[in-house]
């Protein structure tokens, strides 16, 4: 199971010294857009100011070889602390018919590491792209483009590691362990608020139990790989800091372009706020993207959750 659709973690890596490629996962720095975004999409919806570019993730859609990237922006003002102060821009290159290209070239071994600037290079017809598409790309590049999103000089690669432990058996084992511990505490009559280190707020015991499981799973993930800044599993399951997230019937809205259901793709983890001083602290930002991977550029949906208690993630 783990190998089919593993959970991947992003970890801050070395500083970017030269110009990164389209295919690098980068924290901070400047975005390398697939398609130039509109001015509006770089402005905060709440206060109208330019947003700060936080990271770009190169993440081809399963079953597709088209370039696909997610760009994450946030408002450096207080908006970034609330819903509406972030933007997730998904950009996907148009799908091309690769059946003819495959006969000519072995894509897997040559093209992904190509350092050439594919956009400006007239003879870089690596994909067997029709001339029409190629022309489209070039003319797109010529149109006036204003990169107004705020960028930082220093940027870092994001290294991707696989979590071999995170399969269902492990989660189940944790859950069982947790439940038995909890039963022990309650049967000994010693369960008082705060004593087991997980309860908070004034909810009833019943609510606490659900919330504790939810939060403890999240905290366990943070502790297992403390340096993770993001957790990735397309079509997977997000970890949540809000036990009511699913029970309250708050659904993830469908894709605003094609109407397809959105699926979970990745979430930003609290360690990111620790290493990016400009970020206000948050618990997690869950990111949901179009399951049909439609269009060429669209804003995707996210859920921002606050952290219940920062010290507990360490």
User: Minimum distance between the CB of residue 92 and Zn ion, rounded to whole angstroms?
Assistant: 10
Smaller CB separation from Zn ion, 298 or 305: 298
Angle between helices 205-224 and 168-187 (to 10 degrees): 140
Strands 155-162 and 26-28 come out as antiparallel
User: Minimum distance between the CB of residue 34 and Zn ion, rounded to whole angstroms?
Assistant: 16
Write b or e for each residue in 19-52: b if 16 or more Cβ atoms lie within 10 A of its Cβ, otherwise e.
ebbbebbbbbbbbbbbbbbeeebbbbbeeeebbb
Q: Which tokens hold the place of 92?
A: 């996907």
Strands 52-58 and 26-28 come out as antiparallel
Nearest one of 86, 67, 52 to 21, comparing CA atoms: 67
Q: Please report, in angstroms and rounded to a whole number, the separation of the first and last CA atoms in the chain.
A: 29
Cα 186 from Cα 181, distance rounded (Å): 9
Q: Is the dihedral of CA 65, 119, 128, 89 positive or negative?
A: positive
Smaller CB separation from Zn ion, 24 or 77: 77
User: Minimum distance between the CB of residue 44 and Zn ion, rounded to whole angstroms?
Assistant: 3
Collapsed DSSP state (helix, strand, coil) of residue 140: helix
Note the residues at the interface with Zn ion (CB under 5 A).
44, 46-47, 75, 77, 79, 255, 257-258, 260, 290, 292, 294
Nearest one of 51, 52, 61, 8 to 27, comparing CA atoms: 52
User: Minimum distance between the CB of residue 163 and Zn ion, rounded to whole angstroms?
Assistant: 28
Smaller CB separation from Zn ion, 84 or 197: 84
User: Minimum distance between the CB of residue 296 and Zn ion, rounded to whole angstroms?
Assistant: 11
Nearest 5°: phi and psi at 200? -155, 165
Smaller CB separation from Zn ion, 73 or 79: 79
User: Minimum distance between the CB of residue 67 and Zn ion, rounded to whole angstroms?
Assistant: 17
Smaller CB separation from Zn ion, 44 or 279: 44
User: Minimum distance between the CB of residue 262 and Zn ion, rounded to whole angstroms?
Assistant: 8
Smaller CB separation from Zn ion, 178 or 301: 301
């Amino acid at each position: 199971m783990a190998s089919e659709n593993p959970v991947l973690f992003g970890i801050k890596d070395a500083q970017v010294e030269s110009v990164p490629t389209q295919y690098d996962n980068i924290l901070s720095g400047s975005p390398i857009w697939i398609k130039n975004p509109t001015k509006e999409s770089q402005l905060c919806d709440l206060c109208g100011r330019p947003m700060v570019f936080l990271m770009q993730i190169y993440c081809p859609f399963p079953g597709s070889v088209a370039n696909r990237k997610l760009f994450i922006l946030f408002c450096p003002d207080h908006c970034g602390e609330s819903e509406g102060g972030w933007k997730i821009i998904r950009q996907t290159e148009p799908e091309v018919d690769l059946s003819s290209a495959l006969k000519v070239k072995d894509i897997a071994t040559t093209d992904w590491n190509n350092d050439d600037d594919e956009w400006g290079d007239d003879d870089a017809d690596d994909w067997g792209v029709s001339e029409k598409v190629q022309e489209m790309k070039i003319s797109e590049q010529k149109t006036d483009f204003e990169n107004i999103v705020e960028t930082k000089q220093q940027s870092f690669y994001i290294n991707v590691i696989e979590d071999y432990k995170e399969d269902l058996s492990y989660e189940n084992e944790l859950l069982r362990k947790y439940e038995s511990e909890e039963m022990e505490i309650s049967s000994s009559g010693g369960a008082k608020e705060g004593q087991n280190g997980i309860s908070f707020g004034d909810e009833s015991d019943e609510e606490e139990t659900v919330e504790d499981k939810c939060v403890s799973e999240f905290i366990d993930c943070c502790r297992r790989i403390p340096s993770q800044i993001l957790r990735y599993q397309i079509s997977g399951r997000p970890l949540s800091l809000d036990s009511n997230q699913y029970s309250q019937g708050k659904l993830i809205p469908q894709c605003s372009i094609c109407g397809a259901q959105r699926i979970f793709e990745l979430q930003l983890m609290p360690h990111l706020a620790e290493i990016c001083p400009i970020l206000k602290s948050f618990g997690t930002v869950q990111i949901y993207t179009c399951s049909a991977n439609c269009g060429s550029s669209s804003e995707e949906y996210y859920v921002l959750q606050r952290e219940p208690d920062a010290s507990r993630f360490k």
